């Protein structure tokens, strides 16, 4: 079997390395342009990224350093309840206990026998290092993987058409979706994912790197802050249908006026449409990474979805599954991701701007909570049930939903 990977960014090289390791009989060619645009503000990951590199036999003591990375304990939500930056804070720590322990805790809480503040003590490692992720410069991942791979046929070339002679093509061209442009796109804007733009910029790091990804609610969306070893990467994710790009830039610059640009970094504008391809694998072309879809960067899901799409594809090939199985797997993970992210906004008590007023608590919220908080199969999904529990603690919603859960 011969596979051609088109696009040599993070997705392309992660796919090449994983296929080389787990499909050693496959001949792999990676074709990439000599110029690959990067965002350059740093990226936040989930703990599952550790597993990916461990599976490749690459120790994080080496590759994380090569990517200017630092360890990450979790994420911190700031101002999501409409309070001040100083007082309205809640940390989403990574879990280390199992789902059944969470179920026991939840039932005890609903009976009024435990304070909600004990969630972190009951479910999480108090020191935060039992389970960890990373802040890193993701654009350096390809360099790490190039050194690690041995048998990849690497070609520097710009393609206008698919080259002949391959059994399977992997489109890793990002938002450009160069060879999958005409496929049906599932638009999640109608479901409530209205964030579609971001101003991003790297700033000088004035302190020791902070081990949590900051998520700060602003007027028309939220800002992330990601500290690597060298810089403070920031981005204002906003809805351009409710706030002009100029107005968003002004808010972003005003909020970050105390920071100096990192090495002359200037604000860059990113645009996207939230959703995913209904059939990322069609005929003999598979869309991976951003080419397959994107919702928004909340909860550091982008790198995980790249990883998940690659590992799922390899499993399907090894087991002889067809495209229909792979497409169903990817649809399920996209919808799960969509549900979790929507919950963060729908349950917020902040209603001070048009953006935050858009999300109103409805019966659909109850069904979502019931589906994910009650059943244990979330351990196989993107967000563990304890992550859903964190939303309840953040917004003090357990009593509201507890009546539904026990029905």
Cβ within 8 Å of residue 191, ≥6 positions away:
338, 342
pLDDT in tens, 330-367: 999 999 889 888 888 887 888 899 999 998 754 445 45
Helix (H/G/I), strand (E/B), else coil: 330: helix
Does the structure show a pLDDT above 80 at 311? Answer: yes
Percentage of the chain lying above the pLDDT 90 cut: 62
pLDDT in tens, 241-272: 999 999 999 999 999 999 999 998 999 999 99
**The CATH number of 71-91+197-271 is which of 1.10.3660, 3.40.50, 3.30.9, 3.30.70?**
3.30.9
20: its two tokens: 């080389």
CA 222 – CA 195 distance, rounded (Å): 10
292, 309 in Cβ contact below 8 A?
Answer: yes
Q: Calculate the alpha carbon distances from 94 to 74, 241, 278, 359 in Å.
A: 5, 34, 31, 27
Does the structure show a pLDDT above 70 at 285? Answer: yes
- Burial class of residue 366 (count of CB atoms within 10 Å of its CB; 0-12, 13-18, 19+): middle
CA 407 – CA 246 distance, rounded (Å): 49
Query: Which pLDDT does position 393 carry in this prediction?
Result: 60
Q: Annotate 360-387 with three-state secondary structure.
A: CCCHHHHHHHHHHHHCHHHHHCCCCHHH
136: its two tokens: 């890193």
Average pLDDT of the chain is 85
Query: Which pLDDT does position 210 carry in this prediction?
Result: 94
pTM of the model: 0.87
Q: Calculate the alpha carbon distances from 386 to 108, 339, 340 in Å.
A: 15, 15, 12
C-alpha torsion angle, residues 366, 367, 371, 373 (rounded to 10): 0
Does the structure show a pLDDT above 90 at 235? Answer: yes
Return the closest-CA partner of residue 295 out of 187, 405, 216, 144.
187
Cβ within 8 Å of residue 260, ≥6 positions away:
203, 204
Domain spans of the chain, in order of start: 2-67+137-187+275-320, 71-91+197-271
Query: Which pLDDT does position 403 carry in this prediction?
Result: 42
304, 46 in Cβ contact below 8 A?
Answer: yes
Query: Which H or E element spans position 282?
Result: strand 281-282
296: its two tokens: 């928004």
Query: Which pLDDT does position 382 carry in this prediction?
Result: 63
Does the structure show a pLDDT above 60 at 405? Answer: no
Give the Cα-Cα-Cα angle 187, 191, 194 (nearest 5 degrees).
75
pLDDT in tens, 61-72: 889 999 999 999
Domain 2-67+137-187+275-320 and domain 71-91+197-271, same fold? Reply is no
pLDDT in tens, 33-57: 988 777 678 899 988 898 899 999 9
Residues in a beta bridge with 135: 44, 70
Query: Which pLDDT does position 365 carry in this prediction?
Result: 52
**The CATH number of 2-67+137-187+275-320 is which of 3.40.190.10, 3.50.50.60, 1.10.10.10, 3.40.50.720?**
3.50.50.60
């Amino acid at each position: 079997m011969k596979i051609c990977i088109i696009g040599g960014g993070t997705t392309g090289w992660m796919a090449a390395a994983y296929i080389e390791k787990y499909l050693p009989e496959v001949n792999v060619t990676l074709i990439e342009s000599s110029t690959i645009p990067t965002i350059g503000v740093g990226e936040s990951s989930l703990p599952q990224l550790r597993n990916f590199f461990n599976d490749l036999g690459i120790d994080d003591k080496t590759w994380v350093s090569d990517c200017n990375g630092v360890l990450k304990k979790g994420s911190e939500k700031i101002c999501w309840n409409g309070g001040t930056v100083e007082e309205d804070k809640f940390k989403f720590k990574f879990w280390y206990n199992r789902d059944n322990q969470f179920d026991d805790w939840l039932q005890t809480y609903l009976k009024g026998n435990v304070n909600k503040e004990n969630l972190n003590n009951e479910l999480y490692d108090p020191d935060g290092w039992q389970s960890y992720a990373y802040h890193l410069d993701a654009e350096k991942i390809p360099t790490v993987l190039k050194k690690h791979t041995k048998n990849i046929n690497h070609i520097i070339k710009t393609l206008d058409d698919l080259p002949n002679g391959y059994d399977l093509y992997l489109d890793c061209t990002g938002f450009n979706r160069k060879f999958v442009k005409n496929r049906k796109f599932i638009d999640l804007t109608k479901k409530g994912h209205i964030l579609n733009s971001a101003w991003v910029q790297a700033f000088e790091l004035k302190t020791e790197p902070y081990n949590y990804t900051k998520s700060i609610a602003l007027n028309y969306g939220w800002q992330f802050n990601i500290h690597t070893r060298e810089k403070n990467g920031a981005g204002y994710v906003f809805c351009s249908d409710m706030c002009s790009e100029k107005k968003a830039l002004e808010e972003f610059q005003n909020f970050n006026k105390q920071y100096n640009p990192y090495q002359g970094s200037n604000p860059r504008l990113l645009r996207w449409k939230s959703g995913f391809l209904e059939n990322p694998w069609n005929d003999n072309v598979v869309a991976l990474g951003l080419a397959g879809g994107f919702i928004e960067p909340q909860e550091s899901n982008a790198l995980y979805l790249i990883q998940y799409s690659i590992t799922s594809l390899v499993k399907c090939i090894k087991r002889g599954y067809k495209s229909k199985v792979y497409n169903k797997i990817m649809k399920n993970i996209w919808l799960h991701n969509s549900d979790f992210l929507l919950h963060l906004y729908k349950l917020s008590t902040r209603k001070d701007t048009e953006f935050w007023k858009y999300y109103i608590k409805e019966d659909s919220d109850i069904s979502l909570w019931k589906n994910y908080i009650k059943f244990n199969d979330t351990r196989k999904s993107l967000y563990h049930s304890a992550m859903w529990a964190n939303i309840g603690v953040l917004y003090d919603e357990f009593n509201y939903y507890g009546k539904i859960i026990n029905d």
